[in-house]
Structure 1
Amino acid sequence: MTDIHSRRPPRWFVAGDLNGFFGLVVDNLSILGFIALALVGIFGFPAEVVYTKMFPGTALGVLVGNLAYTAMARRLAVRSGRADVTAMPLGLDAPTSIGMALLVLGPGFLAFRQQGLDEQAAALATWQLGMASLVVMGALKLALSFCGDAITRAVPRAALLGSIGGAALTLLGFLPLVETLRSPVAGLVTLGLLLYVLVARGPLPVRLPGVLVALLVGTLLYYALGLAGLGMPGFALPQGVTLSFALPLPNTGFVAGLPATVPYLPLLLPFGLLMVVGGINVAESARAAGDDYRTRDVLLVEAVATLVAGVCGGVAQTTPYIGQPAYKHMGARHGYTLLAGLFVGLGGVLGYLAGLVQWLPVAVLAPIIVYVGLDITVQAFHATERRHAPAVALAFLPSVAYLLAIKLGNPAWIAPAQHAALYAAGDGHGLSELAAIVTLGNGFIITAMVWGAALVAMIDGHTRRAAAVLLLGAVLTLFGFVHSVDPRGGIYVPWALEGLPRLIAWQFAAAYAALATLLALLSLQKRPAAEG
C-alpha cells in the first residue's frame, strides 16, 4: 500500500494553498507599494518609469524563483512519497528592497538631477543603476552560494543580524511609522490589527489571512473617512491606471548602470551577503519543519532569480522567506507558490500590479513595513547568544546616524550652503556634530558588522581576533567603504583626498588602528583560557 501511495503524483493544489497564496501575494504587494511610495512620493520619481519599467522585471524575478521552488517541492514530494511537502516561499526581500528605494534609487535619482539631467533622463539612468545593482548582488549571491557555510562561520551572527536589525529598526521601523501616523485613524488601526494577528496571535471572526484583513480594514477606513470629508487634508481618489503590456525582456541597460553602482557598493555588497546568510537559515528552518531542501539549491535559485530580474529591468532582489514552517501550518503545499508567482509575474507584465499598488493607501502599507522592521529587530536578539546581545545593540547605532544624516541632509529642511557650513564648523574640541553624524552614517551596515564582530570577539576572549577586525576597519575607512567622507558615501583612494575630508578619513582610520594596537598589547597578558 505504501509503495502504491509513493508512486501517486502529488496534488497540484490543496485547500491550504489559498491561504498561502494570499499571504505571499500580500507580502510582495506591500513591498512593491512601499518602493513606489518612496520613489514617487518622497523623491518625486516619475510614476510611469516605476510601473512600466521597474515593476515588470522585478515581478519576473518573483515568478522565476517561485516556479523553481514549486518544482523543487514537487520533486521532493515525489522522491519522498510524502503529500505534506511545502514549497519554499520566495518574494521580494523587505529590508533590502526598501533600502534600495531609500538609500540607492532615490538618492541616485537626485544625484542625476543635480548633474543636469532632466526628469525623464534621470529616471532612466536611475533605472539602469537599479538593474546594475541587482546584477552586482545577484553575482555575489551566485558566487557565495557555494561557500555560504564558510561565510557564516567567519562573520558572527550578532554582527550580521545586528547590522540589518539596526537598519530594520530605523529605516523600516521609524520612517514608515511616520508615514503611518500621517493618517492616524487608518494607520494606527491597521498597525494595531497587524500586531494583534501577527504578534499576539489573536483570533479573527473570519477565516482569512490576518494581513489581508488588516489591509482591507485600513483601506476601507481610509477611503470612508476621506469620502465623508473626515480624512486628512488633501485627500483624493487615485487616478485610474491604464493596463499596459510591458514584457520584461533582457536588455543591456545594466551595463550602462554599472559605473554608477561604485558609490553604493558599501550598501550593495552587505545586502547580497545578508541574503546568502538568510537563505542558509531559511533552508535550516524548512529542514527542521520536515522538508529537507538542499541548501545550495535554495541559494542558487534566489541568486538566479535576482540576476534574471536585474537583466530584465528589475530593481529589488528576491529571497526565500523565513516563514516556510508558517505556510506549512496553514496547510499550504506547493500550489501556493505557483499561484503567487504567476499572479505577481503576470501582474508586472499586464500592469494590474500598478493599479493595486496605487489604490493601497500609504498609511495602510506602511504599518506592514513597521511590523517587518520590528520582527527583524527582535530576531537579531533571539537568534544570537544572550551574551552577545551587547554586540547586537552596538551594531544598531550606526544606522541611527544614517537616519539623522538622511533627515538633516534634506535640502527642504536645511539649505545646502548652510549644511556645508555646519559640516565644516568645528568648535576647537573636535569635528562638528554634523560631520561626526554623517561620517558615522556612511557605510553604516559594514560599520555595524565591524563593530559587532569586534565586540563578539572581545566577549569570547579572542582579543587578537578583535584587533584584526579593527585593523580591517581601518583599511576600509581609508577607502571609504565605512565612514566615507564623500557626501554620497562613495569609495575612493585616500591619497586623492584633500583638506577637511582628508583629515577626517585619516583620523577615523587612526582611531581604529590605535584601538587595534591597544587590544593586541592587552592580548599579551596571561589569561585563564587560551586565546584563539
Structure 2
Amino acid sequence: MPPPIFMKIDFKYKWFVMRDFDSMLMLFLDNMSSLIGILGVMAFAIPPLMVPFGSTDHEAHKTAMTAIVWTRACPGIAWALAFGNLWYGWMAAKLATFENRQDVTALPYGINTPAGFITCWNVMLPIGTALLAANPSMGADDFAIKTWQIACACNFVGGLFEIAGSVYDVRPHFAKAALYAPVAAVGFVWLALVPLTEVAKEPIIGLAPLALAFTAFFAEAGKGVYPKLSGGGALLIALAGMFFKWVHAGKYTGDNAFMAKQVNDAWDNYSGKNMFSKAFPLGHWEGVDGFIAVVFPVAVASFVETMELVETAGAAGDVYNLREAMIVDGLGTCVGAFWGSPIPTTVYIGHKRHKIIGARSGFSIGNALIYFIILNAGVFPVIFQILDAVSIGIILLIVGLMVCQQAMEEAAPRHYPAFFIGIMMLICDWATLNANSTHVGMHNLGAGSGILAAIILPQILCDLTDNRYERAAFFCLVAIFFSVIGLMHGMNPVDVHGKVTGAGFPWNNVYGEGGIMKVKGQLTISIADSKPGITGKETFPWGEKVSALCTAPPEFRVNQMMADGFPAAGMNEGWRFAVGYATVFGICIIHAIMQRCGCMPPPVMDNGVNLHQSAHVLGTAKITEADSMTEAEKLAKMKKAVVSSESSSEA
C-alpha cells in the first residue's frame, strides 16, 4: 500500500548519504545530455528553417530566437526541474516515514527528452514558420517571443493532459507491449538513433565514448565495470568526448580558435543575462488548438511512462503513490510552462540503478539546486559550447536503449512482432523530419509524431495475437475515430474550424488561411472525397511530369481544392485509414462470433505480462536482496514463482 499524498514526515530519515553524490552526478549528466540535445536543436537547428532564406532580417530573426531559448526557456526549465526534484525528494521522505525504514530512493526526474525533440520539430518549427508567413514584416523580437509563448501554452495544455491521466489507471486495458511501444519507440528513435547518427558523423570522437558506455552501463548485469567511479561511468564518457573534441579530432567541430570563440561569445552574450520579466510565457494562445493532436499523444506517452516506471520502482522495493507521481509530472510541466519552459518534464528511467548505488533523496534535491543556478545564471550556453555534444548524446543513447531493454523484459515474447510495429511509427516520424523522406506511407504513419498510432495499432495486433477479438474490435473503433479527427494518420487538409490548412509547394502556397501552416497531426476533419488521382497529365511548377506517388513529400504537392489536381497523391488520408480499420473491425466481430460458437481458440487473458521477468516474479523484493542472490538462487526462485502463478491460474 503506497503512502497518502499528504502526510507528516519523520525527519529522522537521512536525506543525504555519501552515495547521493554519485547518483547526483549521474542524474545531472542525464539531464545535461537531454538539455544539450533539445536546446541545441531549439537554438540552432530550427531557427534557420523558420525564417525564409533571402529575407532581409534572416540573421536577426535567428539571433532573436536563439536568445529567447537561452534567456527565457532556460529559466523556465529551471523552475520545472526544481519543482519536480524537490517534490520527489519529499515523496521519498514520506515513504520512509510510512514504512519506517531508511533505504528509500527517490524517483529520478528531469526533462522529457522525446517530447522535447517532438516539441522542437512538430510544434515550434511550424509555429515560427506560420507566424512569419502570416506577417513577413514581423520584427525579430516579436517573432521570437510569440513563437516561444505559443510553445509554452502548448506545453501547459500538455501538462493538464498528464494530470488528467492520473484519474484512471488504463494499464489493465492494454497489453504490456502496446503500452511500452510508444515509450520504447521514442527511446529507440529520439534517444538512441539520433545520437548514434552523430557518432557516425564524428567517429573519431564518438566511438571511444560509445565503447565506454557499454562497459559502464551494460556490463556486469547493468552494474558496469566502474562501480567505484563517481557517476557510474557517465563522467568518464563526458570527459573522453571533451578530450577528443578539444584536441581537434572532429571534422565538423571547427578548429580550436573557432571553438574558443564560440565559448567566449556565449559568455559575453548570455552570462548573467536573464530576461525573466521580458514577457509573460502564457501570453499568446493563438493557434494552440492546432497542435492538440501533437501535444495530446506526447502527454499520453508521458503518463504511461510514469505508470510503468513507478511500477518498476515498486518492484525494486519503493512502492510510491502512482496517482501522486502522475500529478507531479503534470504539475511540473505546468509550472515550467508558466515560468517559460516549452518542454515537459517527467519521471526518469534509472531508479533501480540509483537504488543499487544506495542513494536516498539527496541526489534529487541536489540536482534541482544545481540546475536552478546554472539555468538562471545564463551560463548554460557556455557549458553547451565547452562540452562535446557527441559524447553527451551517447549518455542519451544508453538511456534510450535501457528503455527498449526494459520494455522487452516486461512484455511477453509473443507480442514482440506487434511491439516492433509500434517502433516503426516513430522511425517514420524521424524519417519525414530528418531524412527528407518523400514516401506517402511514412508521412501517414508518422503524422502527429506517430505516438498514438504506436499505441493503438500494436494494441489491436496484440489482441489478435491473444484471440481477444472483442477488445480488438473496440480498439478498431478508437482507431477509426482518431483517424477521422487527425489524432492518428492526420494527413488531412481541413481543420476543425472548416478552414483549409494549406497545400502546394513550399515556395508557392504552403500556408493556408491566416498563414496557418498545416502540420502532420494537426487536429483536422477527414471526409471521403472523390477527387481524381494521378492521371499522367499533371506537371510540377518546373515542368517535370508527375509519374509516381513519391516524387515529392505529399504535403508539398497536393491541393485538395483543385479538381484538376492530384489529391490522391497525398493529403486527406485519415478517412482511408478509417475505412481500413472498419474492415479490421468487421474481421474481429466475425472471429468473436466464431469464438463464442466454439470454433476459435479461447482468449489469452494475461495482457502480455512476461512472468519470467524478475521484476514481476520477485514482486516487491528489495533490490539489495535480489542482487545478493546467486544466479542459481535467482533462477530457482523465478521458477518457483512461475509454477505457483500457473497453478493458481489453473485453479
TM-score of the superposed pair, with normalisation by structure 2: 0.71
CA-to-aligned-CA distance 1:443-463 (integer Å, 9 cap, x gap): 311122121111111111122
Task: Find the counterpart in structure 1 of residue 305 from structure 2.
Answer: 278
**Match of residue 256, structure 1, among 284, 301, 324:** 284
Which one-letter code corresponds to 1:101 in the other structure? C
2:263 equivalent to 1:239:
yes
2:177 equivalent to 1:155:
no
Distance 2:10 2:34 in 1: 40
Contact 2:23–2:354, Cα closer than 8 Å, also in 1: yes
Q: How does 1:400-411 map to 2 (within 5 A)?
A: 400-407=427-434, 409=436
Moved over 6 A (4+): none
Task: Find the counterpart in structure 2 of residue 361 from structure 1.
Answer: 388
SS class of match (1:125): helix
Which one-letter code corresponds to 2:440 in the other structure? A
How large is the Cα RMSD of the aligned pairs?
2.7
Task: Find the counterpart in structure 1 of residue 579 from structure 2.
Answer: 510
Work out which structure has the larger RCO, using CA pairs closer than 8 Å and 6 or more positions apart in sequence: 1
CA-to-aligned-CA distance 1:3-24 (integer Å, 9 cap, x gap): xxx9772334221111111111
Task: Find the counterpart in structure 2 of residue 3 from structure 1.
Answer: none
Contact 1:285–1:322, Cα closer than 8 Å, also in 2: no
Q: Give the deviation of 1:75 after TM superposition.
A: 3.2
Distance 2:436 2:139 in 1: 22
Bigger CA drift: 126-135 or 170-179?
A: 170-179
CA-to-aligned-CA distance 1:182-236 (integer Å, 9 cap, x gap): 222112222221122012244239622111110011111111225xxx7546332
Distance 2:456 2:488 in 1: 9
SS class of match (2:16): coil
Q: Give the deviation of 1:386 after TM superposition.
A: 1.5
Task: Find the counterpart in structure 1 of residue 466 from structure 2.
Answer: 460
Unaligned runs of 5+ in 1: 1-5, 411-432
Contact 2:188–2:404, Cα closer than 8 Å, also in 1: yes
2:252 equivalent to 1:225:
no
TM-score of the superposed pair, with normalisation by structure 1: 0.86
CA-to-aligned-CA distance 1:235-278 (integer Å, 9 cap, x gap): 32123324225375797532513x43333323321221222222
Distance 1:521 1:194 in 2: 51
Task: Name the CA shift for 1:71/1:468 in 2 (closer, same or farther; >3 Å).
Answer: closer
Distance 1:156 1:269 in 2: 21
Distance 2:16 2:591 in 1: 63
**Match of residue 590, structure 2, among 511, 521, 528:** 521
CA-to-aligned-CA distance 1:386-437 (integer Å, 9 cap, x gap): 2111110111222232222224548xxxxxxxxxxxxxxxxxxxxxx73333
Which one-letter code corresponds to 1:488 in the other structure? V
Q: How does 1:138-177 map to 2 (within 5 A)?
A: 138-147=159-168, 149=169, 151-177=170-196
Contact 1:344–1:353, Cα closer than 8 Å, also in 2: no
CA-to-aligned-CA distance 1:445-491 (integer Å, 9 cap, x gap): 11221211111111111223222322322222222222222451112
2:522 equivalent to 1:488:
no
SS class of match (1:328): helix
Task: Name the CA shift for 1:502/1:309 in 2 (closer, same or farther; >3 Å).
Answer: closer
2:125 equivalent to 1:106:
yes
Q: Give the deviation of 1:82 after TM superposition.
A: 2.4
Distance 1:473 1:110 in 2: 30
Task: Find the counterpart in structure 2 of residue 436 from structure 1.
Answer: 441
2:328 equivalent to 1:301:
yes
Distance 2:441 2:315 in 1: 45
Contact 1:67–1:338, Cα closer than 8 Å, also in 2: yes
Which one-letter code corresponds to 1:146 in the other structure? V
CA-to-aligned-CA distance 1:142-193 (integer Å, 9 cap, x gap): 122232x2x1223332122112323332333322222222222112222221
Q: Give the deviation of 1:109 after TM superposition.
A: 3.0
Contact 2:175–2:459, Cα closer than 8 Å, also in 1: yes
Task: Find the counterpart in structure 2 of residue 24 from structure 1.
Answer: 27
SS class of match (2:320): coil
SS class of match (1:234): coil
Which one-letter code corresponds to 1:219 in the other structure? M
Distance 2:98 2:585 in 1: 53
Task: Name the CA shift for 1:80/1:403 in 2 (closer, same or farther; >3 Å).
Answer: closer
Q: Give the deviation of 1:308 after TM superposition.
A: 0.5
Contact 2:85–2:364, Cα closer than 8 Å, also in 1: yes
Which one-letter code corresponds to 2:490 in the other structure? S
Structure with greater Cα Rg? 2
Which one-letter code corresponds to 1:138 in the other structure? G
Distance 2:601 2:283 in 1: 53
Task: Name the CA shift for 1:218/1:354 in 2 (closer, same or farther; >3 Å).
Answer: same
SS class of match (1:91): strand
Task: Name the CA shift for 1:37/1:233 in 2 (closer, same or farther; >3 Å).
Answer: closer
Task: Find the counterpart in structure 1 of residue 402 from structure 2.
Answer: 375
2:26 equivalent to 1:33:
no
Contact 1:180–1:362, Cα closer than 8 Å, also in 2: no
Task: Name the CA shift for 1:275/1:504 in 2 (closer, same or farther; >3 Å).
Answer: closer
Q: How does 1:3-402 map to 2 (within 5 A)?
A: 9-44=12-47, 46-115=65-134, 116=136, 117=138, 119-147=140-168, 149=169, 151-200=170-219, 201-204=223-226, 207-209=229-231, 210-225=233-248, 231-232=251-252, 234-235=254-255, 236-237=258-259, 238-240=262-264, 241=267, 242-246=270-274, 252-257=280-285, 259-402=286-429
Task: Find the counterpart in structure 1 of residue 495 from structure 2.
Answer: none
Task: Name the CA shift for 1:158/1:251 in 2 (closer, same or farther; >3 Å).
Answer: farther
Task: Find the counterpart in structure 1 of residue 556 from structure 2.
Answer: none
Task: Name the CA shift for 1:524/1:90 in 2 (closer, same or farther; >3 Å).
Answer: same
Task: Find the counterpart in structure 1 of residue 53 from structure 2.
Answer: none
Contact 1:139–1:307, Cα closer than 8 Å, also in 2: yes
Which one-letter code corresponds to 1:169 in the other structure? F
Aligned residues: 499
Distance 2:363 2:524 in 1: 47
Distance 1:248 1:299 in 2: 28
Contact 2:526–2:572, Cα closer than 8 Å, also in 1: no
Identity %: 24
Bigger CA drift: 380-389 or 238-247?
A: 238-247
Distance 1:504 1:283 in 2: 38
Bigger CA drift: 317-326 or 198-207?
A: 198-207
Contact 1:181–1:363, Cα closer than 8 Å, also in 2: no
